[in-house]
Amino acid sequence: MSGAVELWLPAWDRFDPGHPLHRLLARADRLDPGPRGYLAGLAAWFDTARPIPAGALTRELAAHDAGGAGWLCADPAWIEPDMTGARLLACGRMQLGVGDAEALAEPLRPLLEEQGMHLELTTPDRWHLRLPAGTVLPDFPAPERALGEDLLSHLPQGPQGRRWRILQNELQVLLHQHPLNARRRAAGYPPVNSLWLWGGGTLPTRVGTRLSGVVSGDPLLRALAARAGIVHRPRDAADDAFAAGPGWLVDLQDLPAASIATEWWPAIDALARRQPLHLNFASGERRLHRPWHRWRFWRSGT
């Protein structure tokens, strides 16, 4: 691992020309493009099973009981019909309290237990399915691949997929009828009318990485770091995050560019003055900024 701090940022086009980050970009060195997207980015930082078994990893991070079983993420989701089909509009982070999550899960449990599955509410917004031994899983697309798109092209396919399409439809019927969703809509919140199943697999015996540590608010990234045996810290505040040293990954890729400009820019600027920064954008662009680059006054383009 190089002596740089790895900074993971949102897509390049999220940063308008007036964003303060362009002060660094104008003087930084251009690097070859990197991975594009959330899961591709994780796969570049960590060497583990493919597809990444997000369900087992995040359950283990939260509850330490994932070993020896197969798991799926079963994230609360909002699906909205339109003229051509239906679209996934939100997944996870549905602003659920513990009581509301339990109320929504209650009618789902008997249906799932008939299939030998157990629904675990790891947090109000992050649910998991514990699967029977030997369960064969189709390819379940991650939420980032399906958000905003027609669901027909993102349903599990093949002989194994039919069972899961039927199950997802039955779950949607039960959630659509739940009285809590009418109250959520009346209060201005999106309904929770589906579970998005993804990230299937078992807990990997090994996760490799070249990173020395991670600062992130993302459970899957921190779960990978924990399994790799490196330090991982929650992303609580800019000052804490930028205590990170060489070889650390600081994850900001899920934040709005405006938040980075107001809350995070002073720490980024201070960090760039004392050690090299690899700037990794979710859209694939990469730059290297070294402390002495701030004297490149003649450089104005990005």
Nearest alpha carbon to residue 207 among 226, 185, 182: 226
Assigned token pair, 54: 């997000």
Task: Give yes or no for residue 1 having a pLDDT over 50.
Answer: no
Dihedral, CA atoms, 163, 88, 11, 93, nearest 10 degrees? -100
37 conformational bin, left if phi > 0, alpha if psi -120 to 50, beta if neither = left
**Element (DSSP H or E) covering residue 81:** strand 70-82
The pLDDT of residue 300 is 58
Q: 234-257, pLDDT tens digit by residue?
A: 988 777 667 788 999 999 999 999
The pLDDT of residue 85 is 80
Rounded (5°) CA angle 156-196-92:
155
* Arithmetic mean of pLDDT, 18-34: 94
pTM: 0.93
**Token pair 């691992």 in the structure block, residue:** 1
Q: 100-139, pLDDT tens digit by residue?
A: 999 999 999 999 999 999 999 999 999 999 999 999 999 9
Crossing angle of helices 38-45/219-228, nearest 10°? Answer: 10
Mean pLDDT score of the chain, rounded to an integer? 92
The pLDDT of residue 290 is 93
Cα atoms found within 13 Å of the Cα of residue 259, Cβ hemisphere only: 9
Task: Give yes or no for residue 148 having a pLDDT over 60.
Answer: yes
Q: Does residue 35 have a cis peptide bond before it, meaning omega lies within 30 degrees of 0?
A: no
The pLDDT of residue 154 is 87
